[in-house]
Structure formats: structure tokens, C-alpha cells
Amino acid sequence: MQQGKIYDSFTEATADIFDGATLVVGGFGLCGIPEKSIAALQEKGVKELTVVSNNCGVDDFGLGILLHSRQIKKMISSYVGENKTFEQQYLSGEIEVDLVPQGTLAERIRAGGAGIPGFYTPTGVGTPIAEGKEQKQFDGKTYLLEEGIVGDFALVKAWKADKLGNLVFRKTSRNFNPLVATAGKVTIVEVEELVEVGELDPNEIHTPAVYVQRIIVGTDYEKRIERRTVREA
Amino acid sequence: MATSRDIIINRALQEIEDGMYVNLGIGIPTLIANAIPNDRHVMLQSENGLLGIGPYPLEHEVDADEINAGKETVTAQKGASYFDSAESFAMIRGGHIDLAILGGMEVAENGDLANWMIPGKMVKGMGGAMDLVNGAKRVVIIMEHVNKYGESKVKSSCTLPLTGSRVVHRLITDKAVFDFMDAGMVLIETLAGLTVEDIRAVTEANFTVSPELERMPVGE
């Protein structure tokens, strides 16, 4: 059942994600990942995905589960080192990877969502990632041309949404999510809490509703922690 | 007896001044955070989207939504702010972060840095390192002077793929401190007990010696 932008099942909210689609996915490590939407994609069995995400989960959680079921053809990421499945599939040539510096990745997603097809950055000049890229001098300094990214679908995890799709993120789970929300032809947002229109203070909205096409409430979030570090009292 | 790591951390602490905005890389640089004296007020930036990293949480404060760039649970200090990844790298790339302290695999005499991949090994990715070295106002690299085979990691030119070209301002090792100037690499400090000749013997790079050569403090 769908009411406005609100969906009541992850299966329906992700139903039209097709084989070969490009997905832009929020999260940093396992923090702020759309864990329920990812699980729905595994169940759906959609294949040959190109996934743009800073990381690729761990072996049995987050995007790692889509690697395990061999649904990902290509990853565009800044760091994939937490995942043994990834390493095996990369070394056997089953998966392609395009490593992009984290700030460049963030800006490519931001630019894509903002209608900017390319931009120049100093990041990567003189390194292997500069190969094949246009370079240009500004004020005597060299910069690389990098291109904006737009996905067929964007998968976002927010803390709260109102029923129009205005979003609020919590602490460092914000990370790539607000950028990702702007960079999907269809943006699917899973949230912990859905509130009535008017309950969110307009001053505090991180992502305005215009970017959001689908909203769905997730329950029983696992929110797995990669490195639990504590201090003694 | 101070370990190499103690010596490096102890010296790196001197780079951090009151009032600075600082990004500390993953690994040994993160350990510097715990050693910053309480009377030095600095805002530590974590590139996943936190300015003002606090101490690790108490057991009951652990929050999966609050981590640092090393994916460790942390807290936010008073005056902290959260932001998205584009904003985070805008403050890095835009030159708003005073200092980045990162680990290194090789540093060359022209200030080139290699710290993200070894050909033939699984490449994990560069994360935010390439942005940090091109964006922070000042880039300090900390690493051991020689590798486990006793070979110099301070090179005439890097053999590993670069993270950044001519990006290093200062290199701190367990034996010496160097600055990178237009005219080349300059030895500014040696560890107590080591002579300039001792440093030359373990350094592949060419360097000149500062007329005000000083002693590096030995760690605790």
C-alpha cells in the first residue's frame, strides 16, 4: 500500500529496482546505512548492480550481503578494506572497483544532484587516479576534472521524516546521506521515525522534501558497530 | 625506554597548538588525540562528519550513530558540530583545517607522499587521504624512519604510487624531523644521541642541515 510518498513494505518500495541499475547508497562504514532497503534487495535478487557508496559493508552486514549473493557488478567507493568477500571477488575478477578519493566521491554525488556535470579538484593530481583525466591550471596550480554522479535510485537512511519527506539525520549517521538523497532519479528513504507534517521545525530540516520520492519506516534497526571503543569510568 | 611510537607521538604533539582545527589520520595519528594536554584546546575533525571529537564513550554512552573516521565509537565535545560528507571535505579541501597529521609508507625529498597502496597487494582504497594532503593548510607525516628490513622509507623519490605530489610540509620519524622547502628537504632535528651522519646513513633522500639544528625530545 502506498499513500502519497509513504510505502508500507520494503518490497514495494524497491520493486522497480532493475538488473543493471546504478544505486547511490548512503552511509559511512556501517553507520547510517539503509540496512532494511539493502536486505530487501538481497531478497529481491536483483543483479548486475553498480553501487556508489563510500564503503561496501562487512562480510555479513550492509552492502556486504549483496556481494555475498553476487548481485554487485561494480563498486564505486573510497575504501573497501573491511570486507573479505570483496577481496576474493576482486582478486578473481568477478567484481570491478573504481576507487575514488572520499572528498571527490562526496563532491561527485553532490554535483550530480545539483545539476553540475563536472568540477575541478586538486585531489589526486600526480597520483594513479589522475590517469586519463583532463587537467587544467588555475592560478598556476593543477586540478583534475571529475564528473558528477546521478544514480537510477538513491538509497538513504534518515533518523526522522515527516510525511512529505523532509528529513533529519542523527549525529554522524548523516555522512553521505543528504548528498545521496539529491542524486537519485528515484530517492528511497528509510527512517526510524515518521512524524506528521508540521512536527519538524523547518529550521532543523537537513534534506528538504523535494528530493524524496519514497519513504518507508524501518523497525528493529541492528545498527551494528564496527569498532566498539570505550573508556573506563 | 621509549619505543619508536612513543618518540613519534611525543614529537607530533608539539605540532598541535592551542586553538587549532586538526585532522588526525587513522592508526597511530589517532593515538595522538589521547595525549593532547587538557590545557590545549583543539577541535579535532573527523572526515565522516564531526568537528570536535570527544573522548571514547563510557560503556553506557556508546552510540552506533556516533563514530570517527576509523569507525570507532566516539563522543562529541562541547561546541562540536555534525555535517555531511560534502561539507566535511569542503572544509578540508577549502583550506579551513589548520593541520593534518597522517601516517606514511614513503616520503620523498621533494615532499611526495605514498601511503595508500602497495602494487601486487589488495588495494583497500585511499579513503580521505588524497583530499587531506591537498587541502589542509599544513600536512605533517609521521612514520618510522626505516622499514622492517632496515631500508630507508625517506626516499630520493617514492617507489610506491603517490597519495599526493609535493604535499608534505614536515616529516617526523623516530630518528629525525625534516621540513620541505622550495629548495629541498632540510633536517631540522635529530633524536638525542644521533648525529647528522647517523641520519644520513639511514636516509636515502638528499637533504641539507638546518643551521639551527635541534634535538628531538625522547618520548616517555
Q: Which amino acid would we find at residue B121?
A: K
A227 CB near a chain B CB, below 8 Å?
Answer: yes
List beta partners, residue B177.
B172, B189
pLDDT of residue B86: 98
- Check residue A87 and give its pLDDT: 85
Instruction: Evaluate if residue B220 carries a pLDDT over 70.
Output: no
pTM beyond 0.90, yes or no? yes
What SS3 state is found at A118? strand
Chain B positions in Cβ-Cβ contact with residue A171 (cut-off 8 Å): 50, 63, 65-66, 76, 82
Minimal CA–CA distance to B136: which of B84, B101, B109? B101
pLDDT of residue A18: 98
Inform me whether the pLDDT recorded for B60 exceeds 60.
yes
Q: Which residue has the higher pLDDT, A1 or B197?
A: B197
Distance from the Cα of A1 to chain B's closest Cα (Å) equals 30
**Chain mean pLDDT for chain B:** 95
> In this complex, is the C-beta atom of A129 within 8 Å of any C-beta atom belonging to chain B?
yes
The answer to whether residue B31 neighbours chain A at the CB level (below 8 Å) is: no
pLDDT at B148: 95
Report whether pLDDT(B133) > 60.
Answer: yes
pLDDT band per the 50, 70, 90 thresholds, residue B217: confident
- Say whether A80 and B67 touch across the interface (CB within 8 A): no
Say if the Cβ atoms of B65 and A107 lie within 8 Å: no
| Residue B204 pLDDT class (50, 70, 90 cuts) | very high
Q: How many residues does chain A have?
A: 233
Under 8 Å CB pairs connecting chains A and B tally to: 177
CA-angle at B131, arms to B127 and B134, nearest 5°: 145
User: With contacts defined as CB-CB under 8 Å, which chain B residues touch A233?
Assistant: 58-59
pLDDT at residue B197 tops 60: yes
Most B-contacting residue of A25, A79, A95 (CB-CB within 10 A), to test interface:
A79
Return all residues near B67 (Cβ < 8 A) that are at least 6 apart: A28, A29, A31, A172, A225, A226, A227, B48, B73, B74
Mean pLDDT, consecutive 10-residue stretches, chain A (233 aa), reads 90 98 98 98 98 96 96 97 87 93 98 98 98 98 98 98 98 98 98 98 98 98 97 90
Q: What does the pLDDT look like over B2-35, one tens digit per residue?
A: 899 999 999 999 999 999 999 999 988 999 998 9
pLDDT at residue number A83: 86
Annotated active-site positions of B, please? 47
Nearest to A230 among B59, B127, B161 (CB): B59
Contact B82 A172 (CB under 8 A): yes
Mean pLDDT for B49-61 is: 97
Helix, strand, coil in percent for chain B, rounding step 5? 20, 30, 50
Q: According to the model, what pLDDT value does residue B32 have?
A: 93
| Contact map slice: B 144-203 vs A, CB within 8 A | 161-166
According to the model, what pLDDT value does residue A1 have? 65
Q: What is the pLDDT of residue A195?
A: 98
pLDDT surpasses 80 at B1: no
| Single-letter code of the amino acid located at A147 | E
**Interface touch A174/B84, C-beta < 8 Å:** yes
| Most A CBs within 10 Å, among B23, B77, B117, B134, to test the A interface | B134
Please tell me the predicted confidence (pLDDT) of residue B219.
Answer: 58
**pLDDT digit string (tens) for B90-111?**
999 999 999 999 999 999 999 9
- Rounded to two decimals, the ipTM of the complex is 0.97
Residues 12-71 of A with CB under 8 A from B: 28-32, 54
* C-alpha cell read off for B114: 605514498
- Look at residue B120 in the predicted model and tell me its pLDDT: 85
Q: How far is A197 from chain B (nearest CA, A)?
A: 24
